[in-house]
Amino acid sequence: MMHHESDPLRPHSHEPNFEPPTGEPDILLALPGGTEKVLRLEELQALPRVTIRDCYIVSTGHGTSGPFAFGGARLLDLIERHTTTPWNELEVISADGFGNRISRAELLAPDPAGPMLLSYLIDGMPMTRRHGLVRLIVPSETDDALRQVKWVARINVLP
């Protein structure tokens, strides 16, 4: 029988976690070639702040919440600030092992709904760890919240 590997970062059905798995919002950025940088919240806050209004978190299990205005740094701004070598794909992985794969093409051509954010503000207020600090916001995703990754802990930049 054929064995199929499943990609843990590919959207799949999932019961969301509600308890923050760890305390600190630091993000480990792993760059092509092996360099790793620890990003503190202050570094996200120093990048241009973008707000995306009318975002809904649509859960197949526990209903829809929102609308929220999510504020934060553009994911593309952060990557471009820290990377000079060419790259093709990002893996955005949470502290509870949830994740999202993002292609360079997708990041360079933002959806009309808005660019992907590393969000640390919700409705103009600091996001709490319980809310997901730091949360990936993918405005184009309106189905099942599988890309709205809470507790981002690691970003792998792949060639």
Ligand X SMILES: Nc1nc2c(c(=O)[nH]1)N[C@H]1C(S)=C(S)[C@@H](COP(=O)(O)O)O[C@H]1N2
Which chain residues interact with ligand X by CB under 6 A? 14, 16-18, 57, 59, 65, 94, 96, 98, 145-146, 148-151
CA–CA–CA angle 90, 3, 10 (5° rounding)? 25
Distance CA 54, CA 65 (A): 11
Stretch that binds Mo ion, among 22-30, 73-81, 99-107, 145-153 (CB under 5 A): 145-153
Distance CA 70, CA 73 (A): 10
Measuring CA to CA, which residue among 143, 116, 114, 149 is closest to residue 131?
149
Does 144 engage in binding with Mo ion (CB under 5 A)?
yes
Q: To the nearest whole angstrom, how small is the minimum distance from the Cβ of residue 157 to ligand X?
A: 19
Does 145 engage in binding with Mo ion (CB under 5 A)?
yes
Nearer to Mo ion, 121 or 145 (CB): 145
Burial class, 10, CB count within 10 angstroms (exposed 0-12 / middle 13-18 / buried 19+): exposed
Q: To the nearest whole angstrom, how small is the minimum distance from the Cβ of residue 102 to ligand X?
A: 15
DSSP tag of 107? H
Does 59 engage in binding with Mo ion (CB under 5 A)?
yes
Nearer to ligand X, 120 or 151 (CB): 151
| Positions that interact with Mo ion (CB under 5 A) | 59, 144-145
